[in-house]
Amino acid sequence: MRIIRKGMLLREGGETVKKSMAYWWERLLAVDPGKKRLRQAGKAILSLMTSVFIVMTILTLTGKDPLLPSIVAGMLGMMGIMVVMDDTEKDKKRTTLLLPVAGVTGLTSGSLLAGNVFFVSTLMILVTAGAFYFSRFGTRYFSLGMVGFLTTYISSFLGLSYEEFPWFYMAILLGAASAFTYNFILFKDSPRLIAYSMSSFHRQANLTFDLLEEVIQDEHLLEGRKAILEANARKLRIYASSVATDIKEKEIQEIWPGLRAAQVRLYLFDAAMLVTTLSDSLQRLKMDKAFENRVLQRLLVDVLDHLRKAEVLRYSYDLNDLERAEKTLRELRDVINDLFDSQEAKAGGWLYLLRRIEAIATHVTEGAMDIRRSMHRNRKVEEIKEEEQEDEPEEGMKPSTKKAVQALIAGSIAIIAGHLISPVQPYWIILTTFIIQIGTDTVGRAYRKGVERSVGTVIGAIIGFGLATMVSDYAIVELLLIFTVIFCAFYMLTVSYTIMSVFITMLIAFMYDLILGGITYELLAARVIDTIAGAVIALSVVAVIFPTKTMNKITDTFEEYLEELEAYLTEYLKGFSDQGVKDLAEKAFILDEKLHLLEEEAKPLLQGPGARRYSGLPGWLTIFTAVNYYAKQLVASSYQKDFRYGKVVEDNLELTEEYLTYNIRSLRESLKENKKAGKLYDLKNERELIESNAPAVSKTDGDLIHHLHYIWKINKSLLILGERLHFKEKESRNDVL
């Protein structure tokens, strides 16, 4: 018996390990939606390596020193991938072809002016300011400015002679050609990237479906399991938003003719919403002992299992799992209706949660079936013309002008500080100042980026110095490490700026060791001091010269969110009439983007040293997060069309729309004009009259009470927000009678 039991334990342990390995393998595959980061970092490192190899080969064969021209070629090959950020492929090609012009101009100017500190310093300051100023005409000019600045920076301390110019010009041309080849010929971005993104989304969804099945079947909801589930659900929402943003009509039609982009976006939204709703509802369902009904438990698990197995966008898929999901959902709907009829739960209890879960799961399945039908239609791929939107005229000074002035002042201070701190290499500080100013629209963002850059530089200097010392006598190993850290830096660029800075500083350590034949602690420490000084200068200038206060930016974003919410709720409430609701899921994605922007803008305040001053900000974010969740739940309700109700309900629905709009506009005005007083409608009377006069729930008519549930929750959240702005509640009907 002991041997048998031991064998069973070993088998169970083996299955657990196998399952765990499968989970983490799927997690690894899902971590980079569409493999975008991998492709971008891969193209950058391949372009760099190709440029370096070609230039080294040519110069070695001609008997010239290949090191410095190879570095310049590698820099152009890498930057040709990373800094070209135009909207269309046509514009990207033009910018890439113009990079050699900027590179040659910067290299020539920097070399000719290298002997005069004043002239070369002035040139660097003007290039950084010009890059920001001319970005108003397109990102191309900023990309060209970056290349011009870096080639000026390199040539200023190389002090090239006229005889060396042709070789460096060749290096610049070959670097740009390598970038063009990898970006637009060998690894051309194609519609297939959308297919990769959808594959990553499905992997993440399937991981979460597995967790949901396990949690539903577990007797208790453990805190650790709950945290993992919430993290996976949150990640799936981010994936859905990321993939939906990348979807273009023309690309969808090229991959899956007959399919529309709106169908795919709606499918993404519904799948993410199903996971979110289930994740948030499981604790309530377990507390109310809903899963003691084994039929309910089995049906929910079966639905998730069928959806997990469905390969919606694969042409060879035979629909069996989707058909089983439809059948299971019909059974689940009948069970829920029977429970309502038997009065086992009061209105508003856990049965409403199950009804909402069933409604969303049904629409996920219907959306998947609709996608399958559309994929097999023969529809001509039409040319999609995107509407050009005119930019609204901005009041006051343009952001690009502000940035240019800030760069002009910060660059001047950085040059002076550089000559005082590091006379041998005085231009490192202005390089850091320039980098910190990129993408930092507010004081908070500049502070955060400066701290991340400084911390990453210190850590990278310690690691880089140690590794460079260890491999100093092994040039090939050092070269491999250089390529590795460059790849890692760009792969982590959008994940963590601190980690990216660690790898960049390690790269600098290896480069110094390779170029100078050895590295000293003093040399690397000087670069750390220069980096911190550059970050401090950039932050100081951004905070003093035309500052955009972080809290002001957050307040503006709150107001913009409420503006989008107003349009969203108005369209939803009008859907109870004959007008219907169109593309509510598209608008829900916009709300998600606004909320994500709010969270990003708030990070510098919440994570900075003055976080106590903004102790109320987390509460605000919680309110808007709740509103966003409730608003997204309305998408499932918008699918229901069969509503029948009397005159009293109709009148109060109109009043609900009117008063809800008034509440939102009052809050927007308060935020915009900094008014801290007013009154908001509580909608209690409207709710009572609608619920008391709404028709009874039936299997054919829409459940009006259920579909208005989150409208009341949204208004309640707005009232809480109003309390923070010192608004008072008022009963709407008493005011109009």
- Delimit the domains of the chain by residue range: 192-375, 400-545, 550-736
Give the pLDDT score at 269: 83
Mean pLDDT of 190-200: 75
**pLDDT of 736:** 30
Residue with tokens 């569409």: 34
- Per-residue pLDDT for 646 more than 90? no
Across 611-640, average pLDDT: 80
The whole-number average pLDDT for the span 224-229 is: 80
Tell me the average pLDDT of the chain: 81
Res. 481: pLDDT tops 70: yes
Tokens linked to 304: 């998730």
Helices (H), 575-615: 584-607
pLDDT band at 169 (very low <50, low <70, confident <90, very high): very high
For tokens 């001509």, the residue is 380
Give residue 212's pLDDT.
85
What pLDDT, on the 0 to 100 scale, is given for residue 733?
39
Mean pLDDT value of segment 670-677: 72
pLDDT of amino acid 383 = 44
Q: Where is average pLDDT lowest: 486-490, 514-518, 565-569, 709-713?
A: 514-518
CA dist 498 → 41, 449, 494, 505 (Å): 17, 8, 10, 11
pLDDT for the residue numbered 81? 92
pLDDT score, position 286: 80
Instruction: Say yes or no to pLDDT of 384 above 70.
Output: no
Q: Which parts of 191-222 fold into alpha helices (H)?
A: 192-217
Q: What is the pLDDT of residue 493?
A: 84
Task: Specify the range with the lowest mean pLDDT, choosing from 79-83, 226-230, 713-717.
Answer: 226-230
pLDDT at 55 over 90: yes
For the ranges 251-260, 491-500, 547-556, 561-570, the one whose mean pLDDT is highest: 561-570
Cα Rg for the chain, rounded, in angstroms? 30
- Give the integer Cα–Cα distance in Å for 700 and 203: 36
State the pLDDT confidence band at 2, using cuts at 50, 70 and 90.
low
Q: How far apart are CA 123 and CA 127, in angstroms?
A: 6
pLDDT of residue 533: 93
More reliable by pLDDT, 88 or 538: 538
Please check the confidence at residue 538 and state whether its pLDDT lies above 90. yes
382 pLDDT more than 60: no
pLDDT for the residue numbered 643: 61
Q: Which of 707, 706, 663 is nearest to 681 (CA)?
A: 663
Dihedral, CA of residue 322, residue 324, residue 325 and residue 326, to nearest 10: 90
Question: pLDDT grade, residue 644 (50/70/90)?
Answer: low
Average pLDDT over residues 468-482: 86
Mean pLDDT calculated for residue range 624-653: 78
The confidence band for 369, taking pLDDT boundaries of 50, 70 and 90, is confident
Regarding predicted confidence, which is higher, 337 or 429?
Answer: 429
Query: What's the rounded Cα separation, in Å, for the pair 411 and 429?
Result: 9
Instruction: Establish whether domains 192-375 and 550-736 are of one fold.
Output: no
CA atoms within 13 A on the CB side of 474: 10
The answer to whether the CB of 400 falls within 8 A of the CB of 132 is: yes
Q: How many CB atoms lie within 10 A of CB 348?
A: 12
- 421 in Cβ contact with 529 (< 8 Å): yes
Per-residue pLDDT, 171: 95
pLDDT band at 579 (very low <50, low <70, confident <90, very high): low
CB atoms within 10 A of CB 218: 13
Q: List the structure tokens of 518.
A: 């050895």
Confidence of residue 352 (pLDDT cuts 50, 70, 90): confident
Query: Does 386 have pLDDT greater than 50?
Result: no
More confident site: 328 or 677? 328
Asked whether the predicted pLDDT for residue 197 surpasses 90, the reply is no
What is the identity of the amino acid at 627?
V
Residue 540: the pLDDT is 93
Per-residue pLDDT at 117: 85
Lowest-pLDDT range, 319-328, 571-580, 724-733? Answer: 724-733
Q: Compute the C-alpha angle 71/35/511, nearest 5°.
A: 20
Q: Is 166's pLDDT higher than 80?
A: yes
Query: Percent of the chain scored above 90 by pLDDT?
Result: 22
Residue for token digits 């657990």? Answer: 16
**Residue 561 — pLDDT band, cuts 50, 70, 90?**
very high
Cα 140 to Cα 76, 82, 608, distances in angstroms: 15, 12, 34
Segment 630-656 shows an average pLDDT of: 77
pLDDT-based confidence at 578, cuts 50/70/90? low
Token pair recorded at residue 242: 């990321």
DSSP string covering 601-663: HHHHHHHSTTGGGGTTHHHHHHHHHHHHHHHHHHHHHTT-------HHHHHHHHHHHHHHHHH
* pLDDT band with cut points at 50, 70 and 90 for residue 444: confident
In this predicted structure, what is the pLDDT of residue 316? 62
CATH code linked to domain 550-736: 1.20.120
Residue 204: the pLDDT is: 81
Predicted confidence band of residue 389 (pLDDT cuts 50, 70, 90): very low
Tell whether the model's pLDDT for residue 391 goes beyond 80. no
Say which residue, 448 or 257, is predicted with more confidence.
448
Residue 722 has pLDDT above 80, yes or no: yes
Structure tokens at 110: 């920097």
Answer yes or no: is pLDDT of 4 > 60: no
Read off the amino acid at residue 563: E
Taking a C-beta distance cutoff of 8 angstroms, is the pair 42, 487 a contact? yes
Residue among 105, 98, 107, 68 at smallest CA distance from 180: 98
| Weakest-pLDDT range from 3-17, 307-321, 516-530, 691-705 | 3-17
The pLDDT value recorded for residue 638 is 64
Which has the higher per-residue pLDDT, 606 or 657?
A: 657
pLDDT at 376: 65
For residue 220, give Cα distances in angstroms to 23, 42, 344, 417.
Answer: 22, 45, 22, 62
pLDDT above 70: residue 41: yes
Handedness of CA 176, 411, 431, 111 (dihedral sign): positive
CATH class as words, domain 192-375 = mainly alpha
Sign of CA dihedral 531, 534, 540, 545: negative
